[in-house]
Amino acid sequence: MNAALLLLADSRLPAGGHGHSGGAEEAVRIGAIRDLAGLAAFLRGRLATAGLVTAALAAAACDLGASPAAATGRSEWTRLDAEADARISSPAQREASRTQGRLLLRTSRRIWPSPVLDTLAGALPQGAHHPLALGAVAAVAGCSPAEAALAAAYTSVTGPATAAVRLLGLDPVAVHRLLADLAPAVERAAATVPTGGEARWEACWEALPAHASPALDLLAEHHIRADMRLFVS
């Protein structure tokens, strides 16, 4: 495993990830998450939908980031970004994804300077979706598409889990035990994502997973309108 993957998945990476709860804050507010059991159900549902989609997009972006066209061709990045946009129904979630992607890219361009990241930033000045930024940075850092998928699947559950500890005062050891129990599911989600090979990603972007998560969409839209919020999303 590339050690850079650990850096990318580390919550201490100064890219603003700590400010997003992945829907957990609104789920807590409406009572959908009240305890450890509720958090477990939420995380499993998130992993099977949004987590799988982001894993696939991160792997595709990593594969593209390792190709010769990535450093000069903006059109490829805008095409893949459009695929990501089509898979995020909620405007609030789209904005949150772009905000996270923009911050990750800004930080990573200082840590891993590369023409690939410069091209991505120039192609999408409004902010690349987070999984695209994650995959592109993974490629520049020397990670494989499979590793990028694993990082995306992992962060899709660890962010909300950490937020739940802060929101509900849950025992952090118990929450990490829950994440440990989820580890095989995280690995399975990442492993279901095709990782390039002989068939180039550009030929199959439209066939990337598009699992819908209506509950997460509704949570995001309600959260953005809340009078008081601890998290951005």
Q: Name the token pair of 198.
A: 């002989």
Contact 21, 163 (CB under 8 A): yes
Residues of the chain with pLDDT under 50: 197-199
* Sign (positive or negative) of CA dihedral 80, 84, 117, 95: positive
Give the whole-angstrom CA distance, residue 232 versus residue 25: 9
Q: What is the pLDDT of residue 199?
A: 43
Q: What is the pLDDT of residue 198?
A: 38
Give the whole-angstrom CA distance, residue 87 versus residue 134: 17
Give me the half-sphere count of Cα atoms (radius 13 Å) on the Cβ side of residue 92: 19
CA 17 to chain centroid: 10
Q: How many CB atoms lie within 10 A of CB 220?
A: 23
Q: Phi and psi dihedrals of 146, rounded to 5? A: -65, -40
Contact 137, 117 (CB under 8 A): yes
**Widest CA span in the chain:** 51
Q: What is the pLDDT of residue 200?
A: 54
